[in-house]
Structure 1
Amino acid sequence: MTPNLMVNPSSLMTNGVEMKEFGNIYLFKFTDQLQSRFEELLSKKKTDDLSLEEEAEYRGISDLQRIFTLINAQIATKSQWCTSQLEDLNG
Protein backbone atom coordinates (compact mmCIF):
# COMPACT_ATOMS: atom_id res chain seq x y z
CA MET A 1 0.00 0.00 0.00
CA THR A 2 1.39 3.41 -1.02
CA PRO A 3 0.86 6.22 1.50
CA ASN A 4 -0.97 9.32 0.27
CA LEU A 5 1.38 12.19 1.02
CA MET A 6 0.35 15.81 1.01
CA VAL A 7 1.65 19.19 2.03
CA ASN A 8 0.23 20.10 5.44
CA PRO A 9 -2.67 22.51 4.68
CA SER A 10 -1.88 24.64 7.73
CA SER A 11 1.54 25.43 6.24
CA LEU A 12 -0.23 27.24 3.39
CA MET A 13 -2.30 29.51 5.62
CA THR A 14 0.34 32.09 6.56
CA ASN A 15 0.93 33.42 3.05
CA GLY A 16 -1.80 31.73 1.04
CA VAL A 17 -5.05 32.79 2.71
CA GLU A 18 -6.71 36.12 3.29
CA MET A 19 -10.02 37.39 4.61
CA LYS A 20 -12.19 39.21 2.10
CA GLU A 21 -15.31 41.24 2.80
CA PHE A 22 -18.46 40.08 1.02
CA GLY A 23 -21.37 42.31 1.94
CA ASN A 24 -21.59 42.31 5.72
CA ILE A 25 -19.37 39.27 6.35
CA TYR A 26 -15.75 38.26 5.92
CA LEU A 27 -14.88 34.98 4.22
CA PHE A 28 -11.64 33.08 3.73
CA LYS A 29 -10.15 33.14 0.25
CA PHE A 30 -6.90 32.09 -1.37
CA THR A 31 -4.43 34.84 -2.20
CA ASP A 32 -3.97 35.45 -5.91
CA GLN A 33 -0.61 33.64 -5.73
CA LEU A 34 -2.05 30.48 -4.11
CA GLN A 35 -5.06 30.50 -6.44
CA SER A 36 -2.74 30.72 -9.47
CA ARG A 37 -0.58 27.90 -8.15
CA PHE A 38 -3.65 25.75 -7.51
CA GLU A 39 -4.91 26.35 -11.05
CA GLU A 40 -1.47 25.51 -12.45
CA LEU A 41 -1.34 22.25 -10.50
CA LEU A 42 -4.92 21.41 -11.49
CA SER A 43 -4.05 21.83 -15.18
CA LYS A 44 -1.05 19.55 -14.78
CA LYS A 45 -3.15 17.00 -12.89
CA LYS A 46 -5.67 16.86 -15.72
CA THR A 47 -2.86 15.81 -18.07
CA ASP A 48 -1.25 13.42 -15.55
CA ASP A 49 1.85 15.59 -15.54
CA LEU A 50 2.33 16.15 -11.77
CA SER A 51 5.56 15.19 -10.05
CA LEU A 52 5.31 13.49 -6.64
CA GLU A 53 6.10 16.82 -4.93
CA GLU A 54 3.46 18.63 -6.98
CA GLU A 55 0.91 15.92 -6.21
CA ALA A 56 1.58 16.42 -2.48
CA GLU A 57 1.20 20.19 -2.91
CA TYR A 58 -2.01 19.75 -4.93
CA ARG A 59 -3.49 17.48 -2.24
CA GLY A 60 -2.66 20.01 0.50
CA ILE A 61 -4.17 22.94 -1.37
CA SER A 62 -7.26 20.88 -2.27
CA ASP A 63 -7.73 19.91 1.37
CA LEU A 64 -7.41 23.54 2.46
CA GLN A 65 -9.95 24.53 -0.19
CA ARG A 66 -12.45 21.97 1.12
CA ILE A 67 -11.94 23.19 4.70
CA PHE A 68 -12.52 26.83 3.79
CA THR A 69 -15.50 26.00 1.57
CA LEU A 70 -17.16 24.36 4.57
CA ILE A 71 -16.23 27.19 6.96
CA ASN A 72 -17.35 29.89 4.51
CA ALA A 73 -20.66 28.13 3.92
CA GLN A 74 -21.26 27.98 7.67
CA ILE A 75 -20.35 31.67 8.08
CA ALA A 76 -22.65 32.68 5.22
CA THR A 77 -25.51 30.56 6.53
CA LYS A 78 -25.13 31.91 10.05
CA SER A 79 -25.00 35.47 8.73
CA GLN A 80 -28.22 34.98 6.75
CA TRP A 81 -29.87 33.43 9.79
CA CYS A 82 -28.80 36.33 12.02
CA THR A 83 -29.94 38.91 9.48
CA SER A 84 -33.34 37.28 9.06
CA GLN A 85 -33.75 36.91 12.82
CA LEU A 86 -32.99 40.64 13.33
CA GLU A 87 -35.47 41.56 10.60
CA ASP A 88 -38.12 39.41 12.29
CA LEU A 89 -37.47 41.14 15.61
CA ASN A 90 -37.58 44.62 14.07
CA GLY A 91 -40.37 43.91 11.61
Structure 2
Amino acid sequence: MVSILNKPSSLVHEIYIEKVARWKLFKFSEPLQQRMEQLLETKKAEQLMAEEIAELDAIEELDRIFTHINAMMAAQDVNQ
Protein backbone atom coordinates (compact mmCIF):
# COMPACT_ATOMS: atom_id res chain seq x y z
CA MET A 1 0.00 0.00 0.00
CA VAL A 2 1.14 3.54 -0.75
CA SER A 3 1.93 5.54 2.36
CA ILE A 4 -0.12 8.54 3.46
CA LEU A 5 1.41 11.77 2.23
CA ASN A 6 0.60 15.22 0.97
CA LYS A 7 3.43 15.96 -1.45
CA PRO A 8 3.04 14.75 -5.03
CA SER A 9 6.82 14.63 -5.41
CA SER A 10 7.00 11.88 -2.80
CA LEU A 11 5.13 9.62 -5.24
CA VAL A 12 7.56 9.96 -8.15
CA HIS A 13 8.96 6.49 -7.42
CA GLU A 14 5.43 5.15 -8.19
CA ILE A 15 5.64 6.34 -11.83
CA TYR A 16 6.99 4.26 -14.68
CA ILE A 17 7.13 4.52 -18.46
CA GLU A 18 5.11 2.11 -20.58
CA LYS A 19 5.14 1.77 -24.35
CA VAL A 20 1.57 2.06 -25.63
CA ALA A 21 1.25 1.73 -29.40
CA ARG A 22 3.98 4.02 -30.70
CA TRP A 23 4.12 6.23 -27.62
CA LYS A 24 5.99 5.94 -24.36
CA LEU A 25 3.66 7.13 -21.61
CA PHE A 26 4.05 7.86 -17.93
CA LYS A 27 1.84 5.56 -15.87
CA PHE A 28 1.06 4.97 -12.20
CA SER A 29 2.28 1.77 -10.61
CA GLU A 30 -0.45 -0.78 -9.94
CA PRO A 31 -0.44 -0.11 -6.16
CA LEU A 32 -0.77 3.65 -6.71
CA GLN A 33 -3.54 3.20 -9.28
CA GLN A 34 -5.42 0.90 -6.89
CA ARG A 35 -4.95 3.34 -4.01
CA MET A 36 -6.33 6.22 -6.09
CA GLU A 37 -9.36 4.14 -7.06
CA GLN A 38 -9.91 3.13 -3.43
CA LEU A 39 -9.74 6.74 -2.27
CA LEU A 40 -12.14 7.83 -5.02
CA GLU A 41 -14.64 5.17 -3.96
CA THR A 42 -14.33 6.27 -0.34
CA LYS A 43 -14.82 9.87 -1.47
CA LYS A 44 -18.02 8.92 -3.31
CA ALA A 45 -19.30 7.43 -0.06
CA GLU A 46 -18.30 10.68 1.68
CA GLN A 47 -16.13 8.80 4.17
CA LEU A 48 -12.67 10.26 3.55
CA MET A 49 -10.65 11.25 6.59
CA ALA A 50 -8.53 14.43 6.52
CA GLU A 51 -5.32 12.48 5.84
CA GLU A 52 -6.98 10.65 2.97
CA ILE A 53 -8.21 13.91 1.46
CA ALA A 54 -4.63 15.20 1.44
CA GLU A 55 -3.39 11.92 -0.02
CA LEU A 56 -6.01 11.94 -2.77
CA ASP A 57 -5.24 15.59 -3.56
CA ALA A 58 -1.54 14.71 -3.99
CA ILE A 59 -2.29 11.71 -6.21
CA GLU A 60 -4.75 13.70 -8.33
CA GLU A 61 -2.23 16.52 -8.78
CA LEU A 62 0.39 14.04 -9.94
CA ASP A 63 -2.19 12.47 -12.26
CA ARG A 64 -2.96 15.87 -13.83
CA ILE A 65 0.75 16.62 -14.30
CA PHE A 66 1.55 13.32 -16.01
CA THR A 67 -1.65 13.36 -18.08
CA HIS A 68 -0.59 16.78 -19.37
CA ILE A 69 2.95 15.61 -20.10
CA ASN A 70 1.64 12.51 -21.91
CA ALA A 71 -0.70 14.68 -24.01
CA MET A 72 2.12 17.06 -24.88
CA MET A 73 4.39 14.20 -25.96
CA ALA A 74 1.61 12.62 -28.06
CA ALA A 75 0.81 15.96 -29.71
CA GLN A 76 4.47 16.56 -30.47
CA ASP A 77 4.74 13.09 -32.03
CA VAL A 78 1.67 13.75 -34.22
CA ASN A 79 3.10 17.07 -35.40
CA GLN A 80 6.41 15.56 -36.52
- Normalised by the length of structure 1, the TM-score is 0.79
Report the identity percentage.
41
Note the residue ranges of structure 2 that are not aligned, 5 or more in a row: none
Q: Which has the larger radius of gyration?
A: 1
Counterpart residue number, 1:12 = 11
Residue by residue, what CA displacement relative to the aligned partner does 1:19-53 show, whole Å, maximum 9, x if unpaired?
00012221101011100000000000111101111
Note the residue ranges of structure 1 that are not aligned, 5 or more in a row: 1-5, 83-91
Helix, strand or coil: the match of 1:21? strand
Cα distance in 2 for partners of 1:56, 1:46 equals: 16
CA RMSD of aligned residues (A): 1.1
Question: Which structure: greater helix fraction?
Answer: 1
Q: Structure 1 stretches (4+) deviating beyond 3 angstroms?
A: none
For residues 1-91 of structure 1, the aligned pairs below 5 Å read 7-14=6-13, 16-82=14-80
Cα distance in 2 for partners of 1:52, 1:30 equals: 23
- Normalised by the length of structure 2, the TM-score is 0.89
